[in-house]
Amino acid sequence: MPARTKRAGHKDRKIISVSSKRQITIPKKFFRQLKFGKEVECFLEDDGIVIRPIQLEENEFSIEILRELVSQGYSGEELIKKFEAERKKSNPR
């Protein structure tokens, strides 16, 4: 089913499917625009669910990158090089 867009009062709006396992896919445009990472926060507000990216502080962001790389088996100089590449790719300034 194609995504329907535009509704009164909403500049960007998409209708998305919910799978039998209650999963949804965030539209690529929204994902990129809001700079989603691997985790989001989700809460109820009025009559809906709000899903938004977690805004990590610089140190928290770096720690999350390091944890992920260590879990992938990187260490030593290889870890440092991969960390620098991931940090630039994930958090360009």
Which amino acid, 87?
A: R
> Does the predicted TM-score (pTM) go above 0.85?
no
Q: How far apart are CA 67 and CA 74, in angstroms?
A: 10
Structural domains in the chain, sorted by start: 5-53 (2.10.260), 58-90 (no CATH)
Collapsing DSSP states into helix, strand and coil, what is residue 27? Answer: coil
Q: What is the pLDDT along the chain (93 residues), one digit of tens a residue?
A: 455 555 555 678 899 999 999 999 999 999 988 888 888 889 999 999 999 988 766 667 788 888 889 999 999 999 989 888 887 776 544
Q: Look-up: residue for tokens 């989001």?
A: 40
Collapsing DSSP states into helix, strand and coil, what is residue 15? Answer: coil
Residue 24 token pair: 């949804």
